[in-house]
Amino acid sequence: MEKKRSPDLTATKGYVLVVGLNFLQSIGRLLFALMGLNGGIDQFLDVPVSTTTAQVLHVMFFFLGIMGFVAASGFWRKKMWGFWMILLISVITIAFDIWGFTIQETAALGFIVPVISLVYLIFRRSSFMIA
């Protein structure tokens, strides 16, 4: 009798989509933070913010960009810590973007990738635990 193998989750379109979206969002956040170095990140905002708020935004964009890239890299390399890190960064990103939404409504766009990631990972977590 042949042993039933679990499907290779990393070969699915959903896995590739989640990894790709996380890489894209990380790159986008890093580029946004880098462009904000010259003239301040508040130049991209529709409303004036304090210097402290602008600095918090800048630091968070760098942090989420770098950590998101590390998480996506680990997840792509099929590391369990990559799975958990994508979950953690997604939750932090949602919290950050809820706060960002109070400053500018376009921050709601930041919810898209983390929500897709969380939904996918939560529904497929048993496949990751087997792998």
Predicted pLDDT at 130? 52
Q: Which two tokens stand for residue 21?
A: 């979206």
CA–CA dist 18, 34 (Å, integer): 24
Residues 79-124 have pLDDT tens digits of 999 999 999 999 999 999 999 999 899 889 999 999 999 999 998 8
CA–CA dist 111, 13 (Å, integer): 21
Radius of gyration of the chain measured on its C-alpha atoms: 17
Q: Which two tokens stand for residue 73?
A: 């890299």
6 in Cβ contact with 131 (< 8 Å)? yes
- 57-91: burial string, b at 16+ Cβ within 10 Å, e else: bbebbbebbebbbebbbbbbeeeeebbebbbebbe
Predicted pLDDT at 125? 76
Residues 56-84 have pLDDT tens digits of 999 999 999 999 999 999 999 989 999 99
- Residue partners of 65: CB distance under 8 A and separation at least 6: 26, 27, 28, 29, 30, 32, 33
